[in-house]
Structure 1
């Protein structure tokens, strides 16, 4: 290459290759797998709500796969996500809500809201059947109050009074707040490769449309508020905001006791990010907030709360729990008292192992903290004496969400110039003029 005097070559960086997850074939294959997974429900499930969801979702996912592979340009992804949301979330949720079809958890939340208004506690004093139990902490009843106030006299009352709508609202708003929190990052390394990442809004739309979230959102939605609040608490802790993280933990821990492991992970992450004082402030806020939300129900009906919230979900209640998926802990508990104690012992050992890992290798950023919490919950749900496969959606959502918001891309190598740039030589004009006229 010949260059004129005084000209230097222009270094042009090569166009980065399209990542594998951003290709049309990958998106089409993912939606097709989701369609096959949803299509299995009308055949294998015995629940009417699951069969209805599976039929609608399979059509939506199939349309998303066709659109992803058939349409060119960036509009293909938006159209595919829209089709998946319409088929897997909007259509089945509206149909199930307006026709009054739901899993028993929805009826339990709505009844607990009615009881909370009438007697100040969401627990029946003498439950006679399984559906009379309320295996949730008192704050869950707040999501059933709209139904108690509106009733079911019109389609609007059915729609805005259904507990699933409010569970979904808490979940979506928590993820949105977490996204706003994470956008405040000023780390320039996090901005490297951002043009190759999915925008946060699109990523959350894909997460909501995926079967792991879409199915529970339409048929029950009971675990989604706690999941969204845990994500929000992790995001706030990663940004060093102890009071806000403590409030999010307080609400999550007053919904279900399965959110309590998140407290340890959030405190350790906050301690690494903002110091020990911030972690103590978060712990105090979470403790005070959770106490204010849980104490009234516990004081008014302590025996009923212990029976329904602690004994019943672990398989030691008066009535057997319907959570009987063939997980290792449940299989051990079915062997008798010795098997039950063995399952509890393994559960305690698993919890201690996760706690030791938090002390020896504390998480230093959002992704590792979410992974550690997901691992702890996975161990707890797998080894618990009573559990369901649906509980595993919480750790899956945590891990997927963390990778969508904190991908940790490696910093790309800059291109090495082929021609060495000559050094800049200062001009001799001032010295020449000084020599000609002399320095006076």
Structure 2
């Protein structure tokens, strides 16, 4: 049955890549589809040949559908805007000590949208190679997103190997088009996702200090990791976890806040919540976006629904503490799915978090501490 599901995954992904190559309005997405369709097609054909090497086929499929297209797109200069944003934030960090511009500086630029950096300060590290060395394909931020993702996933897989559900979980964090397309064209979500999965794996082994380090690094890059850190903390109840999970993102934030707190608020809080000088390009037609666009006071209604879901999950956690890392991953998957659906500004691509968490959860069950 596993081989049939593998074949279905690769075959349907090949179909998605072909449709993307012929119908997408984004040049980077079309280029990804043109190359990824061959990687998925080859993987589908080889499923029943390398039936004893499912993990190796998954790795080869990831290389063919994400890493090779990434390199080609980097050489051609095709990317989503977040790549440019991260690289520019690194240049600003080197020049001013902060990756952010304040509201007045953003307003003075001809392209204010690309001047916003809606990430935590740690994300700028991926833009440092280009800022320090210059414009080469191998200094593209996506190359370093991919390296960080591979390292974190390797560590997570080693912790959980040889769990029988692990290959499927890795597939849904790598070769699933939601992940492969994102890594090749933009990439900033993948190291955050991989670090969350690594934190789950450490927690399953009851190595809570290292779980705190992993989720702390993710939280230093993107706000999506913060609710994961909170739920993990409710399960872990460990001083070492708490110190690392809070200390790492604080170490990234405090210097930036000391230099210019207003610029941090403008980029990380006001812009994503629709209070910036320009509207966020995150506009996939999910529930929250549709409410915000088509109902009177729709943005407030969507935010109220989002808060209601948050309070509901908090009430559930107050009465039902997670008993294992599997429960943590499931709760995080449900919570992030609800948040992504209800946020006034959102993207389909963000769904990679709850999808990967849901398929990672079975690997966290019946894992012995070590």
TM-score calculated relative to the size of structure 2: 0.90
Q: Residue 406 of structure 1 corresponds to which residue in structure 2?
A: 364
Please tell me whether Structure 1 or Structure 2 has the larger radius of gyration of its CA atoms. 1
Equivalence for 1:165: 143
Shift of residue 384, structure 1, vs aligned partner: 0.8
Equivalent residue for 1:60, pick from 32, 39, 44: 39
Task: Confirm or deny: 8 A CA contact 1:374 1:394 kept in the other structure.
Answer: yes
Higher relative contact order (CA 8 A, sep 6+): 2
Displacement of 1:28 after TM fit?
Answer: 2.0
Is 2:231 aligned against 1:265? yes
| 1:137 partnered with 2:114 | no
**Aligned CA distance change for structure 1 residues 346 and 140 (closer, same or farther; 3 Å):** same
Report the CA distance shift for 1:81/1:232 in structure 2 as closer, same or farther (over 3 A): closer
Following superposition, the deviation at residue 217 of structure 1 comes to: 0.9
Name the residue aligned to 1:393: 352
Report the CA distance shift for 1:41/1:107 in structure 2 as closer, same or farther (over 3 A).
Answer: same
Residues 32 and 73 (structure 1), Cα distance of their counterparts in 2 relative to 1, 3 Å cut: closer
Of the three residues 157, 174, 187, the one matched with 2:152 is 174
Q: Secondary structure at the match of 1:260?
A: helix
Cα pair 2:172 2:359 within 8 Å, conserved: no
Q: Which one of the candidate residues 77, 80, 83 is aligned to 1:100?
A: 77
Name the residue aligned to 1:339: 298
Structure 2 distance, partners of 1:28, 1:104, is 33
Q: Matches of residues 2-401 of structure 1 in structure 2 within 5 Å?
A: 20-21=1-2, 23=3, 25-69=4-48, 71=49, 74=52, 77=54, 80-81=57-58, 84-125=61-102, 126-127=105-106, 128=109, 129-152=112-135, 157-159=136-138, 161-182=139-160, 197=164, 204=170, 207-271=173-237, 278=238, 280-335=239-294, 338-401=297-360
- Local SS of the residue matching 2:297: helix
Residue 334 (structure 1) shift: 1.6
Q: Deviations over 1:100-146 (max 9, x none)?
A: 21111001111111111111000123113201111111111111111
Deviation at residue 361 of structure 1 after TM alignment: 2.4
Runs (5+) with no aligned partner, structure 2 = none
Q: 1:81 to 1:337 in 2, by over 3 A?
A: same
2:82–2:188 Cα contact (<8 Å) kept: yes
Q: Distance in 2 between matches of 1:218 and 1:346?
A: 33
Greater helix share, structure number: 2
- d(CA) in 1 for partners of 2:273, 2:114: 16
How has the CA–CA distance of structure 1 residues 130 and 336 changed in structure 2, closer, same or farther, with 3 Å as cutoff? farther
Distance in 2 (alpha carbons) for counterparts of 1:326 and 1:313: 16
* 1:111/1:86 CA distance change after superposition, 3 Å: same
CA contact (8 A) 2:15 2:37 kept: yes
**Alignment partners' CA distance in 2, 1:134 and 1:43:** 31
Runs of at least 5 residues in structure 1 that lack an aligned partner in the other structure: 1-19, 184-190, 272-277, 410-440
Distance in structure 1 (CA, Å) of the matches to 2:323 and 2:255: 37
Would you say how many aligned residue pairs link Structure 1 and Structure 2?
Answer: 361
TM-aligned CA distance change 1:79 to 1:283, over 3 Å: closer
Provide TM-score, normalisation by structure 1.
Answer: 0.76
